[in-house]
Amino acid sequence: MTDAEVVPLARAGELDGTIVATDVAELAAEFPDFEIGSAFVTSASGPDYRYLWARGPDRVVIAAPERALLAAQLRRLALP
């Protein structure tokens, strides 16, 4: 991917079903060359954020607020 795309992180309350463990497991199975994880960032004053992230073999980290967006970004990286 040559052009960086900025995707805003989702506020925790805006996520429809939130990020679940199956999202991480499914992404890890689909993209075995990437380390996949999720994070929940919170502070006393809010707002809270949840996101999925992927770290590739080149150590670049990509983050997205939901599984479909992260999968789309990873597929773009795989294009020649």
The answer to whether 65 and 15 are in contact (CB under 8 A) is: yes
Q: Does residue 59 form part of some domain? A: yes
Range of the domain at 70: 10-78
H-assigned helices in the chain: 21-30, 67-78
The answer to whether 27 and 54 are in contact (CB under 8 A) is: yes
Instruction: Examine the pLDDT at 80 and tell me if it is beyond 70.
Output: no
The mean pLDDT of 60-74, rounded to a whole number, is 91
pLDDT of residue 71: 95
Q: Does residue 44 form part of some domain? A: yes
Domains of the chain: total = 1
pLDDT tens digits for 10-66? 444 444 445 667 888 999 999 999 999 988 877 777 777 788 999 988 888 999 988
First-to-final CA distance of the chain = 9
pLDDT of residue 11: 46
Q: Does residue 5 form part of some domain? A: no
pTM of the model: 0.70
Tell me the β-bridge partners of 55: 35, 61
